[in-house]
C-alpha cells in the first residue's frame, strides 16, 4: 500500500511540473544573456501592476487591420526576475516567444510557438489576453491578465 501511494505521489508531482507547452525549446547558458533594457514600448507586469497596457491594445488594433507588429511583455516573478514574452504578428500568424533565461529559479529556456489568433476576454473584474490555435499541447496560451 505504501508503495502504491509513493508511486501515485511521484506521478502527481511529475504531472504538476510539466509546463504544458510543447513549442520549440532552446536551452541557453544564462551567463551569456545581455542585461535587460526596458523601453517605452514595453508592457511591464509587476505582480499585477501593469504599465503601458495601451501598447497591447494598439497591437490588437494593428492586427485587426492585418498590419505587422510586435510587442514585448515583461513579467516579474515573486523573486523579482524578469520573464519576457514577445509576440509578433505577420502574415496572419502570431509568433510567441517565452523567455525564462533570467529566472534563476525557473527553467531558463526560450520556448517559441506559432499561434493562429489572439483573444481579449473582458469581464467585470479583469481583462485576459490569450493566444489560441497554438502549436503543441496547449492550444491556448494566456499572455497577460489585468485586474480592474
Q: Extract the C-alpha cell encoding 62.
A: 494593428
Distance separating the N- and C-terminal Cα atoms of the chain: 49
φ and ψ at residue 29, rounded to 5 degrees: -70, 115
pLDDT in tens, 17-33: 344 445 677 776 767 78
Secondary structure class of 20 (helix, strand, coil): coil
d(CA 136, CA 9): 26
- Which burial class, exposed, middle or buried, applies to 19 when counting CB atoms under 10 A from its CB (0-12, 13-18, 19+)? middle
pLDDT at 16: 38
% helix, strand, coil for the chain, step of 5: 20, 40, 35
Nearest to 100 by CA among 79, 75, 83: 83
Residue 4: what pLDDT? 37
**pLDDT tens, 66-98?**
999 999 999 999 999 999 999 999 999 999 999
pLDDT at 48: 92
Question: Which residue shows C-alpha cell 503601458?
Answer: 52
pTM of the model: 0.80
Distant-in-sequence, close-in-space partners of 72: CB < 8 Å, separation ≥ 6:
39, 41, 42, 43, 84, 85, 86, 87
Amino acid at each position: 500500500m505504501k508503495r502504491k501511494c509513493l508511486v501515485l505521489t511521484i506521478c502527481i508531482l511529475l504531472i504538476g511540473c510539466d509546463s504544458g507547452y510543447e513549442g520549440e525549446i532552446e536551452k541557453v547558458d544564462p551567463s551569456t544573456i545581455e542585461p535587460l533594457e526596458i523601453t517605452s514600448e514595453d508592457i511591464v507586469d509587476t505582480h499585477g501592476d501593469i504599465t503601458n497596457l495601451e501598447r497591447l491594445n494598439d497591437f490588437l488594433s494593428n492586427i485587426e487591420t492585418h498590419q505587422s507588429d510586435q510587442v514585448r511583455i515583461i513579467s516579474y516573478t515573486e523573486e523579482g526576475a524578469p520573464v519576457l514574452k514577445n509576440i509578433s504578428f505577420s502574415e496572419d500568424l502570431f509568433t510567441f516567444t517565452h523567455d525564462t533565461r533570467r529566472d534563476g529559479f525557473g527553467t531558463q529556456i526560450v520556448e517559441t510557438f506559432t499561434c493562429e489568433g489572439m483573444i481579449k476576454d473582458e469581464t467585470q473584474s479583469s481583462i485576459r489576453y490569450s493566444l489560441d490555435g497554438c502549436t503543441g499541447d496547449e492550444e491556448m496560451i494566456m499572455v497577460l491578465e489585468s485586474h480592474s
